[in-house]
Amino acid sequence: MVNNTSKCMRNDPLVMRNEYAGCGKWNIPLVRKQELNVGNPSLIACSDTKSNDYMSLWRQIESVAKNRWCGAYWQSKGLTVIPTISWSTPSSYDFCFDGVEENSIVAIGMIGCKQNRLNFMRGYYAMLEKIHPETIICFGTPFPEMQGNIVTVDYRASRKVVR
């Protein structure tokens, strides 16, 4: 009988993501800082690349690890990767910023954040403290109190898929 549990799969030496060194408590693969002319970036919204269903805490950690693994993989192929940072409650701060090199360019999205501005801003400040991003590419209109070098990207104009 084959054991296909997530833990067994992660520990399998044949799993490609094991090729990339992990970091942090959760051993999430590191996406290294990339250079990018952020004056007029051509980007794909994260919502065009994955589903937005609600997940358990473990599924969130797995999602972060999978996204960082993909970033590490594409970087090894010579592509520029800008990690999208997202968080939920303070309990997610333990893992959601892992796998991103400090002083990197990062991307965030504002869709849905206006409904819980206080929690969004708590996570935003936690991200600033943990990653110290060089530049923050912001999909949507940032809140006036957001600090940092913010480059605003029109969410609709960046969409590759029209829903």
Q: Where are the domains of the chain?
A: 40-158
Please give the Cα distance from 86 to 80 (Å, whole number): 19
pLDDT band (50, 70, 90) for residue 29: confident
Residue 44: the pLDDT is 58
Q: In the predicted model, is pLDDT for residue 158 greater than 70?
A: no
Encode pLDDT of 42-71 as tens digits: 665 545 555 444 344 445 666 777 777 777
Is the distance from CB of 26 to CB of 98 less than 8 angstroms? yes
Higher-scoring residue by pLDDT: 80, 60: 80
What's at 54, amino acid-wise?
Y
pLDDT band (50, 70, 90) for residue 159: low
State the average pLDDT for the chain.
Answer: 78
What DSSP string describes 90-150? GGGGGTTTTTB-TT-EEEEE-TTGGGGHHHHHHHHHHHHHHH--SEEEEESPPPTT--S-E
Encode pLDDT of 103-146 as tens digits: 999 999 998 888 899 999 999 999 999 999 999 999 899 999 99
Residue 57: the pLDDT is 47
Q: Residue 51 half-sphere exposure, CB side, CA atoms within 13 Å? A: 4
What's at 19, amino acid-wise?
E
Task: State the sign of the Cα–Cα–Cα–Cα dihedral 110, 104, 42, 148.
Answer: positive
Q: How far is CA 24 from the centre of its chain?
A: 15
